[in-house]
Amino acid sequence: LPQTHENREHLVMMEKILGPIPSHMIHRTRKQKYFYKGGLVWDENSSDGRYVKENCKPLKNISSTEEWI
């Protein structure tokens, strides 16, 4: 995963790459402030949001290991 120091941004990157975070994991976290109605609270139009959108591709869309390098 790309480097980040923000917890919320890290969660968004993981969700973008791996898919939705399971609800049972969301309910067990101590960071409920990052979620609303089962989804991450995140501004996709911020500079960080645009970075994640451009640089974090879903794992299922990557066809070969060469795209990781």
Inside any domain, residue 67: no
Question: CA 11 to CA 16: how far, in whole Å?
Answer: 9
Q: How far apart, in Å, are the Cα atoms of 10 and each of 16, 22, 38, 69? A: 10, 16, 17, 20
Domain count, the chain: 1
Inside any domain, residue 1: no
Confidence grade of residue 69 (pLDDT, cut at 50, 70, 90)? low
**What is the pLDDT, as a whole number, of residue 12?**
92
The whole-number average pLDDT for the span 43-49 is: 90
Inside any domain, residue 16: yes
Nearest to 11 by CA among 60, 46, 67, 25: 25
Query: Has residue 68 got a pLDDT over 80?
Result: no
pTM of the model: 0.74
> For residue range 2-45, what is the model confidence (pLDDT) as tens digits?
667 788 898 999 999 999 999 999 989 888 899 998 889 999 99
Inside any domain, residue 26: yes
Domain that holds residue 26: 7-61
Inside any domain, residue 36: yes
